[in-house]
Structure 1
C-alpha cells in the first residue's frame, strides 16, 4: 500500500537538549529521523557522555550535514572531518566535536539512533 509521511522538524515529536545540543526527533510512521543542532564548543565527550555514560559514543550515525562542520575520532585512532553537503556514516566507538564557528546542523536517518541518541539511560 502506497503512503506518504511528512513531518516538520519545526514541530518535532520530541526534543532533547543536553548541553550545547538540540535534537529534534520526528516519527515518520515508525521510522524516526532527527535534526541535530550542536553549538560551537560542542563535543560528545563533554556534552552527551554525561547524559548517556560510556567511554565513547556507541551510536551508529547515518546522516548529512547542512551547515557547520565536525571532526570525528574513532576508538581505533581513525579520524576525519565532515562538512556542509556531505553525507556520512559514523560507526560506533567514537568522539566528535564541532570545528566550525557556526552551529553544526545535521540530519540523522538511522531510526534507532534518532530514537535513542542523547536520551538518558
Structure 2
C-alpha cells in the first residue's frame, strides 16, 4: 500500500480567530498543518469552538516557523521554535510569542478533532 497527498490540497481547512488548520486524512494518519498568527492564543481563539477550558488534544509536532509558548494545567511552561519536535499532553494553553506567525506540523492523529465543534 502506498498513499501520497499534498498538504497544499488539504482534505479540510478549519479557520478560527487568528489562525487556521489544514488537515490531510490518510490511512493510519491524520496530518495537520497549523498556522497561528501573532496574537493567537488557544484560550481566546479556540476554547469556545472546543468547549473545554484547556486544549484537550494530544500533540506530536514539529515547528517550522515562529515561536509558541505552552503552559500545562499544572503551571509548567516551555517555549518551542523552529526545528523543535514536541509532544504535549492534553490539558494545556498555548500562545504565539513575538510578531511572526507560528507554523507547526502535527502528526498526532488526534489533530482531526482540533478546532472542530462537536
Structure 1 and Structure 2 fold alike (TM over 0.5): yes
1:42 deviation in Å?
0.2
> Which TM-score applies when normalising by structure 2?
0.96
Do residues 16 (structure 1) and 19 (structure 2) align? no
Unaligned runs of 5+ in 2: none
Q: CA RMSD, aligned part only?
A: 0.9
User: Which residue, out of 68, 71, 75, partners 1:70?
Assistant: 68
User: Which residue, out of 33, 36, 39, partners 2:37?
Assistant: 39
Q: State the alpha-carbon separation in 1 of the partners of residues 44 and 71 from structure 2.
A: 14
The structure richer in strand per residue is 2
1:29 deviation in Å?
2.1
1:94 deviation in Å?
0.6
- Total equivalences in the alignment: 118
SS of equivalent to 2:55: coil
Unaligned runs of 5+ in 1: none
Q: State the alpha-carbon separation in 2 of the partners of residues 99 and 82 from structure 1.
A: 9
Structure 1 segments, 4+ long, off by >2 Å, are none
